[in-house]
Amino acid sequence: MRGFPYWWRRHHHCQSNVYAHPGDVVASPGDPREGYFAHSRHRGPPEGWGGDDGESVNFGVRRPLRFMAHKLELTDDQVEKLAVILNDLKTERAQAAVDYRRTVNAMAEALASPTFDEPKAKAAGEERVKSADHVRNAVQDALRRVHAILDDEQRQRLAYLMRTGALTI
């Protein structure tokens, strides 16, 4: 039960009083974390916790892009090009997820029929292979494009990050 108050404070953006009312400001004067959690729960997280404009955190390409920009010490031009590459790759993977759900549904329909629908199951399997090939080609294209925009030292750092598992593409 020791971790629950910490979890509550982190997820409800309040200080130490778990029983505070939603409009209460719960940071006490002189608290070393004053300003960190010292805000009303209804106003949302402190400024700077979200995106650049104060909005909520975007879990698209922003985090991997920031991580790579920091670790590889990318220039602004490289960051712009990398953002386009990662966005294209994210789109391809999202389409692959849609295709996967579609093939699962088709396989389930083939299984649910009174007699096994062999052609439907086979078509779903072939569609899944096509989708995997498409993602593989998109990843290879992304790697080729990333290779072209990085210098030798940055390529070595990126390869190290991939080998250690700190970054996956």
3-state secondary structure labels for all residues of 48-85: CCCCCCCCCCCCCCHHHHHHHHHHHCCCHHHHHHHHHH
For residue 29, how many other CB atoms are within 10 A of its CB? 6
| Helix, strand, coil percent values for the chain (each to nearest 5) | 65, 0, 35
Residue 5: its pLDDT value, please? 67
Q: Tell whether pTM > 0.95.
A: no
The tens digit of pLDDT for each residue in 73-90 reads 999 999 999 999 999 999
Confidence band, pLDDT 50/70/90 cuts, at residue 56: very low
The Cα–Cα gap between 1 and 137 comes to 48
**Cβ atoms of residues 62 and 44 within 8 Å:** no
State percent of the chain over pLDDT 90. 52
Confidence band, pLDDT 50/70/90 cuts, at residue 93: very high
| Whether residue 49 has pLDDT greater than 60 | no
Encoded tokens for 152 = 């030798």
The Cα–Cα gap between 157 and 72 comes to 6
Q: Which fold has domain 62-164?
A: Four Helix Bundle (Hemerythrin (Met), subunit A) (1.20.120)
How many helices (H) and strands (E) are present in the chain, helices listed first?
A: 5, 0
Least confident range of 1-15, 66-80, 91-105: 1-15
Buried b (16+ CB within 10 A) or exposed e, 86-109: beebeebeeebeebeeebeebbee
| Whether residue 41 has pLDDT greater than 80 | no
Please give the angle made by the CA atoms of 163, 75 and 46, to the nearest 5 degrees.
85
The tens digit of pLDDT for each residue in 2-33 reads 666 666 666 665 544 444 444 444 444 444 44
Residue 31: its pLDDT value, please? 45
The Cα–Cα gap between 27 and 10 comes to 14
Selection from 131, 21, 159, 149 nearest residue 80 by Cα: 149
Domain ranges in the chain are 1-57, 62-164
